[in-house]
Amino acid sequence: MAVFSETLELSTEAEAQAIDITERVAAIIRKSRLKAGIACVFSPSSTSAVVANESDAGVDEDLAALLERVAPRRAGYRHEERWHDGNGHSHVRASLLGQGFTFPFEGGKPRLGTWQQIWFVELDNKPRTREVVVQLVGE
């Protein structure tokens, strides 16, 4: 059993921005030379998320619309009372989506569904430079 880790750096531009990182994660799996195991893609941030879904089908816009209905920007958040940084909704949204996605890999490739891609989702209310940790456990 071996462990391989690498960190991706992303620059984001906008709130609810979905970035397809599938190929970058697949490249890390290839680079590791591990043939099979489990991959964890994790964002060490409380205002971003990592999810799997279909790209280029309007899903990112649907997700943004859903998040606005469930955790609206302009609702009252206790976080705002303390920090006054305008991103209480970002924290709630990240808690709903989750900061990590775990999946198997085999033959040096991600074992994703036919239409699945791995997305990093920026949820904060301003552009950011983000790190995404990719950690593999396998053989």
Domains of the chain: 2-138 (2.60.120.460)
pTM over 0.85: yes
Mean pLDDT of the chain: 95
Whether residue 121 contacts residue 18, with contact meaning beta carbons closer than 8 Å, is answered with yes
Mean pLDDT of 99-121: 97
Phi, psi dihedrals of residue 29, rounded to the nearest 5°: -60, -45
Give the ranges where 33-77 is alpha helix by DSSP (H): 59-70
Confidence grade of residue 83 (pLDDT, cut at 50, 70, 90): confident
Whether the pLDDT of residue 25 is over 80: the answer is yes
- Residue 69's alpha-carbon distances to 20, 35, 64, 96, 137, in angstroms, are 23, 42, 9, 13, 38
What pLDDT was estimated at residue 65?
A: 95
Range 113-116 contact pairs with CB under 8 angstroms and sequence separation of 24 or more: 113/52, 115/54, 115/57, 116/52, 116/53, 116/54
What pLDDT was estimated at residue 81?
A: 86
> Which of the two residues, 82 and 110, has the higher pLDDT score?
110
Q: Which two tokens stand for residue 127?
A: 């552009």
What pLDDT was estimated at residue 53?
A: 94
What pLDDT was estimated at residue 56?
A: 76
